[in-house]
Chain A
Amino acid sequence: MESQNSATFEGLLKRGELIESASEMTPDYLRELKHTLIVSGDTELISAPAYYLAARKAPSVNAFMTAIAIIQDELAHAHIAYHILEELGESQEALIFKRDPKAFRYPYAFDVPLESWTELVVANAMYDQAGFCLLGDIHEHGSYGPWKRGLVKVMAEENFHLRNGRNWSKRISQAGGAAKEELQRAVDWMFPLTVEWFGLPDNLKQHSAQLNYRLKGLTNDQLRQQWLSTVVPFMESIGIRVPAHKEGDGYVLDYPFPCTFHADEKRWDFKDPCSWDAVLKRWRARGPRNAEMVALFQESFAKFQVRA
């Protein structure tokens, strides 16, 4: 019975058809799908407190409204992923409110605090662009029907975030002086953090169940290139330096990848290359604000529970 199911499932997948329910899945596919959804939900969720801390520095009432609208979008996007997880048998409540902060699976970048309006808009221009590449890939190539369909509006909304990031980055750059220097400093630490967001390079990642199961369509390096191909020309067009350049059909980084990051100083040491093992260790240890970010939405939950 199990092998028959498995053969039917493989057939669906090979023909490029969509998987619509848990009953069609193999246990392995279900596990990979859940893992991918958790990473996506956690990433959207954690961006809310991360962006909120910086939104408080908004330079105008409407800019604050823009940031709050973006945060509202991110929470809604997180809800899509957690809602699907619930349909697949997980408890949303347990996932969001009862997990240890270190068990969250969002990119390390969000553990480094965004502390100014400038850093927030650079996050909109670079982090949301990364989200756009990753979710766009799932929307285009994903094999799980309910998620693929849930992403239609997410893409449009991410566009709004990107536009906020780009408009403001451009305005700040045009202002010149100290404002532009602050923008450059933000890009200096946030650019390499987003480059590593896409994960291990393809030559180190031997096997990807996510690709085999069409939970994504592009490899880590392909997605990273896609991100570089939008962010590098944009930053150059507004007069901001980035440590990457075009060579042939692709983009090449101008620093050793990976290298050491000093989170407390928000500083990369391009003269100190490191191994991917060291990067994975840093990711697993999480960054400076992990517990604080998670506490921002977990804190009040327990207070409002009715005790039996």
Chain B
Amino acid sequence: MTFSPLLHAGAGPLDSPLSHAGAGPLDSPLSHAGAGPLDSPLFHAGAGPLEARLWSALAEIDDPEMPVNLVDLGLIYGVTVESGRACVRLTFTAMGCPATEMLMSDIRERLLAEPGIEEVRLDVVWDPPWTSARLTADGREALRAWGLSV
């Protein structure tokens, strides 16, 4: 699967990667973007169940300071798997994020615990940059409930 630039292109109401497609119009960061093949497995026609499991696994990892998981925070740009090797394309909220190693180590450990995953590659990217527009509806709600205005 190739990565597509998430923030280009078209419309189409999409859901948060975890919210099982079809669930209505949303403000997932992905949905702001255009059409074109997204590489969240749940949207992608050809996505296998393994990628879907990895998205769910990533959603078990919380941000270290805010009550929101990495997927709902919008840090994960894409997940692919090929021959037991998972590749996660991700970003951080800031280049000075003091938790990058902590999160990468948590991601690696969590994904390696999934059956069928023998290797994890993390591809940190800064373009497109993270903004609060990347929060999913659930992420936005969690942060609002916690007192952040997003």
Contacts and interface: CB of A to CB of B under 8 A. Distances in A.
Contact of A63 (B66, B96, B101): B101
Interface in A76-116: none
Nearest to B66: A156
A163 B102 contact: yes
Contact of A160 (B64, B100, B101, B147): B64
A62 B100 contact: yes
B49 interface: no
A156 B102 contact: no
Contacts of B67: 156
B147 A171 contact: no
A159 B65 contact: yes
A157 B105 contact: no
Interface in B91-120: 96-102, 105-106
A240 B105 CA distance: 20
Interface residues on B, range: 10 to 19
Interface residues on A, range: 10 to 19
Nearest to A67: B98
Contacts of B66: 156
Given A159-B65, A160-B64, A68 B98 contact: yes
A157 B97 CA distance: 14
Contacts of B98: 62, 65-66, 68-70
A157 B66 CA distance: 8
A266 to B, nearest CB: 27
Nearest to A166: B102
B65 A157 contact: yes
A60 B66 CA distance: 24
Contacts of B97: 65
Nearest to A157: B65
A160 B99 contact: yes
B65 A65 contact: no
Nearest to B147: A152
A63 B102 CA distance: 8
B144 to A, nearest CB: 15
A164 interface: yes
Contacts of B100: 62
B102 A167 contact: yes
B101 A66 contact: yes
B105 A171 contact: yes
Interface in A131-156: 152, 156
B64 A65 contact: no
B17 to A, nearest CB: 24
A66 B102 contact: yes
A107 B24 CA distance: 54
A156 B68 CA distance: 11
A82 B73 CA distance: 33
Interface of A: 60, 62-63, 65-66, 68-70, 152, 156-157, 159-160, 163-164, 167, 171
Given A66-B102, A167-B102, 20 more contacts: A62-B98, A62-B100, A62-B101, A63-B101, A65-B97, A66-B99, A66-B101, A68-B98, A70-B98, A152-B147, A156-B66, A156-B67, A157-B65, A159-B64, A160-B64, A160-B99, A163-B64, A164-B64, A164-B102, A167-B105
